[in-house]
Structure 1
Amino acid sequence: MDLRSFEAAAWARLMEAAAGPHAGFRYVTLCTVDAAQRPQARIVVLRECDDERRMLTFHTDVRSPKWQEMAANPQVTVLGYCHERRLQLRLAGQVHCYAAGSEIARNTWRALPPHTRQTYNGGPPGEVRATAPLAGESTGPETGESRFGVVILQASSLDAYQLQRNDNQRALFRYAADGVLQASAWINP
């Protein structure tokens, strides 16, 4: 397989994940740095992928620590591994965060199904609760919308690592700010 095909296959897997809830890269790890310069990692759902512009989209609660971390330092890494394909993808780049009131957040919120919208009701992520959540507990859809944020990663690099029985393959791709491929190379696994 040549570099161009290897890169195209990696982005095709991300496109599949954004479109299908059971795809291998649907859940990926978003890595940020907190105020004390400690690395932080958590699973996020890949909601959209633009393979031409090299962008990934996630949703989050704007009260979450990761939102604050990305506001302070928009440089992040996203790591995914598909067991079925034995493929690891690591993307680095800069995020742009769109809070409630922005056109992107408003349009995205309107397209969400009710069960997804209700995940933004309730207290701030990570805070202690006095009681266990009640089934169907809700504080209203307008409250959830005010807590909803869209995160778009503009990838500056993709490190793709294909595990095989023999001859593992790994390549590094570097992108311009508009997503155009600037450089690529095979690298040692």
Structure 2
Amino acid sequence: MPKPHLDPIADEVWRLLNAGANAGKTRSPFTMLQAATIGLDGSPRVRTVVLRRVCREQRSVMFHTDVRSAKVAELRQDARIALVGCDLDTGIQIRLHGSARIVDAPHETRDIWTASRPRTLIVYRTPLAPATPVASPAEAHATTAGEDIDSSAGFENFCLIDVAVSKIDYLDLNPAGHVRASFTFDAGAWRGEWIAP
């Protein structure tokens, strides 16, 4: 566990992440995070992902994506990933570092697919892999209005990215004085320390 004086910070980090994954109509600033991977050519790659699940006990955060996407190929080559979220109103930034596990086995993904909103799943129904060049935006659309859609259409393109968090960086840009803390998971326990902003 973190040092006692850092416990409230660790609690706040996981509370904010949990709120991000469980946002309702009012989005949390931590619902959409920036995810950084190492490109196949060794250069950095960053994109926005939607936080879907958080489990503090397993130090896990999860998002889903298209198995045909570049980020999946990148994570298959190098599982290291970094995520960052920021609440511009409060000045709080959370950075996560960890190792990604690609979850694409149907017995592990079916329940999450079934529980997802249809408008969320439409992106997996397109016949084209993400980033495929198209002549017009409409060419990339999966279906047109009024078509009868099989509820499992696109399931073969759906996967989860489960990140085992190994380091957390918390920054609070409080006008009264910036506060920054770091938490590292090592030898089965979290170690926390204050660091300079």
TM-score normalised by length of structure 2: 0.87
Alignment match, 2:12? 9
Q: 1:111 to 1:77 in 2, by over 3 A?
A: same
- Alpha-carbon distance between aligned partners in 2 of 1:73 and 1:62, rounded to the nearest angstrom: 15
SS in 1 for 2:154: helix
Letter in structure 2 aligned against 1:83: L
CA contact (8 A) 1:154 1:177 kept: no
1:83 equivalent to 2:88? Answer yes
Residue 112 of structure 2 is matched in structure 1 by: 108
Distance 1:34 1:48, change over 3 A: same
How many residue pairs match? The answer is: 186
Q: CA deviation at 1:136?
A: 7.3
Q: Once the two structures are superposed, what CA deviation does each residue of 1:48-78 show, in whole Å capped at 9, x if it has no partner?
A: 1112221101000000000100111001101
Q: If the length of structure 1 is used for normalisation, what is the TM-score?
A: 0.91
| Structure 1 stretches of at least 4 aligned residues deviating more than 3 Å after TM superposition | 138-143
Residue in 2 aligned with 1:185?
193
Q: Pairwise mapping of residues 1-189 of structure 1 onto structure 2 (< 5 A)?
A: 2-21=5-24, 22-99=27-104, 101-122=105-126, 123-133=128-138, 137=143, 141-176=151-186, 180-181=189-190, 183-189=191-197
| Cα deviations by residue, 1:88-129 (Å, 9 ceiling, x for unpaired) | 111101011111x43221221121121112121111101111
Aligned residues with identical type, % of pairs:
26
Q: Aligned partner of 1:57: which letter?
A: M
CA distance in 1, matches of 2:66, 2:187: 26
Name the CA distance, whole Å, in 1 between partners of 2:103 and 2:58. Answer: 18
**1:176 deviation in Å?**
4.1
Indicate conservation of the 8 Å contact 2:125/2:142, yes or no: no
Cα drift, residue 30 of structure 1: 0.5
Counterpart of 1:2 in 2: which secondary structure?
helix
Query: Can you give the 5+ residue segments of structure 2 that lack an aligned partner in the other structure?
Result: none
Verify the 8 A CA contact 2:103 2:160 in the aligned structure 1.
yes
Cα contact 2:123–2:142 (8 A) shared by 1: no
Distance across 2 between alignment mates of 1:25 and 1:132: 29
Q: Secondary structure at the match of 1:164?
A: coil
Q: Do the aligned partners of 1:117 and 1:141 also contact (CA within 8 Å) in 2?
A: no
What amino acid does structure 2 have at the position aligned with 1:113?
R
